[in-house]
């Protein structure tokens, strides 16, 4: 990395670092960020081990510094196509959690109602004995597997084969259901297959950045740094932001549309109405490469900006201004994330973003692309490998030929692979556990006792006497405390494997240090379970025929061959040498493919596609015959949807809209970031974000303690007065109870005490951003108890004037959450 400055600024106060502006079509300049433990210099580092970030979905390539067998720091990789050497705060500081004194080092087992240490043999015997007992009593339907977006590709694939062809259960999903199930579903609805069409390099070429419900400055820090450098360079792109909060990207926007939570679809339908009304449609592209335009035309005919303004609470002229920008350019990079995925009519809204790019012909060319963003570092692998319930390598569970392909690959009968119904999604898995039909639940690297909606219900499910819970994690999480067996897992930097970021870039992650105590790699745990269960193929040979990460990768390559996510052109040797590569990587694309659909070569052929699609409003699956009749030639599909109001709108008792989300400094439930000193200090506890109008209506000042009350639960926290739109309350969801002070307010800390048990009909993703609430002042900032309230809330105003034409806010301003 010589020749580049090592940048070590205060990356808590300035998360994005110094600016390096560049013009459209230019190369993003390199800036190498480094952080080493106090007292350690670069010259003292004994080894730099290549890897990539495991605390967000951007896939920032980095090297881990090793000295005396310990991690002592990280530095960005200058040769990375993803981050060009830059690292965000979670990259720079999060690795310190690996050395926390609270790491699990030995298995735990529940005896006499308490978790006590045990040896690996006893822990695995307990798991295997219960597995065999339930297979004999009930069969495969007794088993549920709930995994994560933080394991490695090799681990997901192994877990998926164990679940489908070993246990033969249909109840497999990941916590990616909570963050990016809608990304996958939206791509399936438009292109009949998962796989991000765009590339991060599209930032370099685009004329418009269209960010919908995507606070990229906090969720993908280095991607925002890239966008900022384009915005501050010559010939900057226009920036259109849709977000109810005035986030950092919103402050830089040419048009900011602060919509009411749950109204994304209405806004997007109005933008489509304007594009069509003004004839800003690439008719040649639409006619040649898509289906469904006429249906869209009818659906949005009456969706005028005035109609949407009343629903969304933004000005009609501002909606027109956004549509004019989109209609004037065809190099549009559209992105979206949880503001769409976790909100009302999630898939329907995400699909309309795809539709905007299709209408403009903004697809498959530099600067013209779609990134249905991921939330977790390896969420793409959860989906590719089938650990989210779908079949591996984007095969179609409703296509018998695809099931037969897997049966031949695994050497089992096709009837052994469950495909009698759609795979069971996470919310239904927990429902079956609640009802008692699922009696064994294996949870790996996730913390549903904090991250799922309506937590009081989730805790009661996990605590059921008739549910055997296995938890595989780094720490004793809130979920682990309710388990029957807890297995200590190794993590990033302590094991080897590969993983893939949002724009399909595959990274190799090397083993830098040994895991603590007796902790084991997740892959080794799964392989041990398979051996002990003695899973066999139809010839009596072991079902799992690989033994380590590299042999598991080769098995995955065979599974991916000929499919959209083809890895056959990759190898550990190539990836270890720093050859991060986008899939597909095969004979046709030996160096990977930067953008999909450059030749409008969609994966939508009826015999090849991953999905036949669903009705966006009801979620009803499209049947094979219906799809074949509609799309025999495999075109992209323009799908329209009618806006419907949320099922829990504000009312007299709960007059405000609850919005939950992330902060820049933490990841999920803080099991790692909460143990990194700089990150923990930057955001130590939960807060409640209110507009000035709503704060005034409640007599609340900055720092006053308030209760956010929803029909299901309460969160108590200090208030922050920001320029969030009136009528909306924001609470970050990261905070649970593992580091709480044991006070009576313990169960008033987690945002998901309040969220609703509902999900999108198509993607089955829970709705974390669509619920009603009210505010009650508890105490002044100095701790003085508040008098009984005389009013419960100020009424949300009908409209708020958006920011138009300004990118004046500095990146170093206080973060909006």
Q: Tell me if the domain spanning 656-809 has CATH number 2.40.160.210.
A: no
Do the domains 6-102 and 108-173+418-582 sit in the same CATH topology, yes or no? no
What pLDDT, on a 0 to 100 scale, did the predictor assign at position 787? 65
Confidence of residue 741 (pLDDT cuts 50, 70, 90): low
Residues 331-336, mean pLDDT to the nearest whole number: 98
The per-residue b/e assignment along 689-721, b for 16 or more CB within 10 angstroms, e otherwise, is bbbebbbebbebeeebbbbbbbebbebbbbbbb
pLDDT for 230-277, tens place per residue? 999 999 999 999 999 999 999 999 999 999 999 999 999 999 999 999
Confidence of residue 452 (pLDDT cuts 50, 70, 90): very high
SS3 sequence, 724-742? CCCCEEEEECCCCCCCCCC
What pLDDT, on a 0 to 100 scale, did the predictor assign at position 430? 98
What pLDDT, on a 0 to 100 scale, did the predictor assign at position 786? 72
Q: How many angstroms separate the most distant Cα atoms in the chain?
A: 75
Q: Token match 């090397």: residue?
A: 510
CATH number of 6-102: 2.20.25.90
Confidence of residue 517 (pLDDT cuts 50, 70, 90): very high
- Say yes or no to pLDDT of 79 above 70: yes
Q: Are 507 and 582 in contact (CB under 8 A)?
A: no
CA 450 to chain centre: 16
CATH architecture for the domain at 181-373+603-637: 3-Layer(aba) Sandwich (3.40)
Confidence of residue 810 (pLDDT cuts 50, 70, 90): very low
The per-residue b/e assignment along 57-81, b for 16 or more CB within 10 angstroms, e otherwise, is bbbbbbbbbbbeeebbbbbbbbebb
Residues 85-102, mean pLDDT to the nearest whole number: 97
What pLDDT, on a 0 to 100 scale, did the predictor assign at position 569? 97
- Say yes or no to pLDDT of 813 above 60: no
- Say yes or no to pLDDT of 484 above 60: yes
Tokens encoding 38? 């106090």
Q: What fold does the segment set 108-173+418-582 form as a domain? A: Rossmann fold (3.40.50)
pLDDT for 45-65, tens place per residue? 999 999 999 899 999 999 999
Confidence of residue 739 (pLDDT cuts 50, 70, 90): confident
Question: For the chain, how far is it from start to end, CA to CA, in angstroms?
Answer: 34
- Say yes or no to pLDDT of 794 above 60: no
CB count, 10 Å around CB of 414?
Answer: 15
What pLDDT, on a 0 to 100 scale, did the predictor assign at position 592? 97
Separation between Cα atoms, residue 166 and residue 155, nearest integer Å: 15
Tokens encoding 429? 């898995």
Give the up-direction half-sphere exposure of residue 731: CA atoms within 13 A in the CB hemisphere: 35
Question: What is each CA distance from 496 to 21, 56, 554, 581, 611, in whole angstroms?
Answer: 36, 19, 14, 17, 32
Beta-carbon contacts of residue 553 (< 8 Å; ≥ 6 apart): 153, 154, 497, 498, 567, 572
Separation between Cα atoms, residue 707 and residue 789, nearest integer Å: 12
What pLDDT, on a 0 to 100 scale, did the predictor assign at position 744? 45
pLDDT for 261-319, tens place per residue? 999 999 999 999 999 999 999 999 999 999 999 999 999 999 999 999 999 999 999 99
Cβ neighbourhood burial of 577 (10 Å; 0-12, 13-18, 19+):
exposed
Separation between Cα atoms, residue 438 and residue 170, nearest integer Å: 11
- Say yes or no to pLDDT of 797 above 80: no
What pLDDT, on a 0 to 100 scale, did the predictor assign at position 577? 87
DSSP class of 599: T
- Domain coordinates in residue numbering, the chain: 6-102, 108-173+418-582, 181-373+603-637, 656-809
pLDDT for 118-137, tens place per residue? 999 999 999 999 999 999 99
What pLDDT, on a 0 to 100 scale, did the predictor assign at position 174? 96
In 230-336, beta strands by DSSP E: 238-242, 255-257, 290-291, 332-336
Give the up-direction half-sphere exposure of residue 759: CA atoms within 13 A in the CB hemisphere: 21
Q: Token match 């849709």: residue?
A: 242
Separation between Cα atoms, residue 236 and residue 362, nearest integer Å: 18
Residues 457-474, mean pLDDT to the nearest whole number: 98
Phi and psi torsions of 507, nearest 5°: -115, 150
SS3 sequence, 336-404? ECHHHHCCCCHHHHHHHHHHHHHHHCCCCECCEEEEECCCCCCHHHHHHCCCCCCEHHHECCCCHHHHH
Separation between Cα atoms, residue 36 and residue 352, nearest integer Å: 45
Residues 28-34, mean pLDDT to the nearest whole number: 97
Residues 373-391, mean pLDDT to the nearest whole number: 95
Separation between Cα atoms, residue 242 and residue 529, nearest integer Å: 47
Beta-carbon contacts of residue 617 (< 8 Å; ≥ 6 apart): 345, 348, 641, 642, 644, 761
Residues 436-445, mean pLDDT to the nearest whole number: 98
Mean pLDDT (the chain, rounded): 93
Q: Are 497 and 549 in contact (CB under 8 A)?
A: yes
- Say yes or no to pLDDT of 790 above 80: no
3-state DSSP call for residue 295?
helix
pLDDT for 581-593, tens place per residue? 999 999 999 999 9
The per-residue b/e assignment along 515-542, b for 16 or more CB within 10 angstroms, e otherwise, is bbeebbbbbbbbbbbbebbebebeeeee
What pLDDT, on a 0 to 100 scale, did the predictor assign at position 3? 41
Q: Token match 């048990």: residue?
A: 757
What pLDDT, on a 0 to 100 scale, did the predictor assign at position 788? 53
CB count, 10 Å around CB of 436?
Answer: 11
pLDDT for 645-687, tens place per residue? 999 999 999 999 999 999 999 999 999 999 999 999 999 999 9
Tokens encoding 771? 């619920």
Separation between Cα atoms, residue 684 and residue 676, nearest integer Å: 11
pLDDT for 764-786, tens place per residue? 999 999 899 999 999 998 877 77
What pLDDT, on a 0 to 100 scale, did the predictor assign at position 450? 96
Task: Please state the pTM of the whole predicted model.
Answer: 0.94
Q: Is the peptide bond before 584 cis (omega within 30 degrees of 0)?
A: yes
| Proportion of the chain above pLDDT 90, given as a percent | 92
- Say yes or no to pLDDT of 801 above 60: no
Separation between Cα atoms, residue 335 and residue 800, nearest integer Å: 24
Q: Which of 648, 649, 660, 644 is nearest to 796 (CA)?
A: 649
Residues 708-724, mean pLDDT to the nearest whole number: 96
């Amino acid at each position: 990395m010589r020749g580049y400055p090592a940048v070590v600024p205060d990356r808590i106060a300035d998360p994005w670092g110094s600016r390096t502006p560049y013009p459209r079509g230019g190369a993003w300049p390199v800036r190498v960020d480094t952080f080493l433990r106090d007292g350690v210099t670069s010259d003292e580092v004994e080894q730099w081990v290549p890897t990539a970030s495991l605390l967000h979905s951007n896939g920032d390539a980095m090297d881990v510094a090793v000295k005396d067998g310990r991690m002592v720091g990280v530095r960005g990789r200058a040769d990375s196509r993803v981050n060009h050497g830059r690292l965000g705060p979670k990259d720079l500081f999060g690795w310190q959690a690996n050395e926390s004194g609270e790491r699990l080092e030995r298995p735990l087992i529940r005896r006499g109602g308490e978790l006590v240490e045990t040896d690996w043999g006893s822990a695995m015997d307990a798991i295997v004995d219960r597995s065999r007992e339930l297979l004999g009593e009930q069969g495969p339907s007794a088993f549920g597997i709930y995994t994560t977006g933080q394991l490695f590709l090799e681990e997901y694939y192994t877990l998926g084969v164990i679940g489908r062809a070993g246990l033969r259960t249909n109840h497999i999903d990941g916590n990616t259901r909570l963050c990016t199930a809608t990304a996958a579903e939206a791509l399936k609805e438009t292109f009949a297959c998962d796989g991000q069409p765009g590339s991060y390099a599209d930032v370099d070429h685009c004329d418009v950045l269209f960010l919908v419900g995507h606070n990229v400055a906090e969720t993908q820090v280095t991607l925002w740094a890239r966008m900022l450098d384009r915005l501050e360079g010559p010939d900057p792109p226009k920036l259109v932001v849709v977000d109810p909060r005035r986030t950092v990207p919103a402050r830089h926007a040419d048009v900011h549309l602060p919509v009411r939570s749950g109204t994304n679809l209405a806004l997007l339908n109005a933008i489509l109405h304007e594009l069509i009304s003004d004839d800003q449609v690439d008719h040649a592209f639409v006619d040649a490469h898509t289906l469904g335009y006429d249906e869209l035309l009818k659906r949005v005919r009456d969706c005028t900006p005035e109609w949407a303004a009343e629903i969304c609470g933004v000005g009609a002229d501002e909606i027109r201004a956004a549509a004019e920008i989109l209609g004037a350019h065809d190099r549009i990079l559209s992105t979206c994330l949880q503001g769409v995925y976790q909100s009302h009519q999630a898939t329907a809204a995400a699909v309309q973003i795809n539709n905007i790019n299709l209408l403009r012909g903004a697809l498959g060319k530099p600067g013209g692309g779609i990134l249905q963003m991921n939330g977790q570092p390896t969420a793409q692998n959860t989906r590719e490998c089938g650990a989210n319930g779908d079949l591996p390598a984007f095969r179609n569970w409703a296509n018998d030929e695809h099931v037969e392909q897997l049966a031949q690959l695994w050497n089992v009968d096709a009837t052994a692979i469950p495909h009698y119904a759609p795979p069971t999604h996470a919310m239904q898995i927990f429902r079956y556990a609640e009802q008692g039909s699922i009696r064994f639940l294996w949870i790996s690297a996730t913390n549903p006792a904090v991250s799922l909606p309506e937590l009081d219900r989730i805790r009661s499910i996990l605590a059921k006497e008739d549910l055997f819970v296995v938890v595989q994690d780094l720490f004793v999480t809130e979920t682990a405390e309710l388990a029957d067996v807890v297995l200590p897992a190794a993590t990033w930097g302590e094991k080897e494997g590969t993983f893939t970021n949002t724009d399909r870039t595959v990274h190799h992650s090397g083993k830098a240090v040994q895991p603590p105590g007796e902790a084991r790699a997740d892959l080794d745990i799964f392989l041990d379970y398979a051996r002990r269960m003695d899973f066999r193929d139809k010839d009596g040979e072991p079902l799992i025929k690989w033994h380590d990460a590299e042999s598991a990768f080769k098995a995955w390559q065979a599974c991916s061959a000929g499919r959209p996510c083809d890895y056959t052109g990759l190898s550990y040797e190539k990836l270890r040498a720093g050859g991060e590569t986008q899939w597909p990587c095969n004979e046709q694309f030996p160096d990977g493919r930067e953008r999909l659909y450059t030749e409008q070569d969609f994966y939508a052929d009826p015999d090849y596609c991953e999905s036949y699609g669903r009705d966006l409003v009801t979620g009803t699956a499209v049947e094979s015959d219906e799809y074949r009749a509609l799309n025999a030639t495999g075109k992209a599909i323009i799908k329209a949807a009618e806006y419907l109001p949320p099922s829990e709108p504000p009312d007299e008792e709960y007059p405000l809209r609850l919005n939950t989300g992330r902060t820049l400094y933490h990841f999920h439930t803080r099991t790692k970031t909460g143990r990194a000193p700089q990150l923990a200090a930057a955001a130590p506890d939960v807060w409640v974000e209110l507009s000035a109008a709503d704060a005034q209506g409640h007599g609340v000042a900055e720092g006053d303690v308030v209760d956010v009350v929803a029909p299901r639960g309460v969160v108590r926290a200090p208030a922050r007065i920001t320029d969030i739109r009136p009528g909306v309350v924001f609470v970050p969801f990261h905070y649970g109870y593992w580091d709480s002070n044991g006070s009576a307010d313990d169960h008033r800390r987690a945002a998901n005490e309040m969220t609703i048990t509902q999900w999108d009909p198509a993607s089955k993703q829970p709705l974390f951003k669509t619920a009603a609430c009210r505010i009650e002042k508890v105490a002044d900032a100095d701790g003085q108890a508040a008098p009984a309230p005389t009013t419960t809330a100020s009424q949300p105003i009908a409209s708020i004037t958006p920011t138009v034409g300004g990118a004046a806010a500095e990146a170093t301003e206080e973060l909006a959450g």
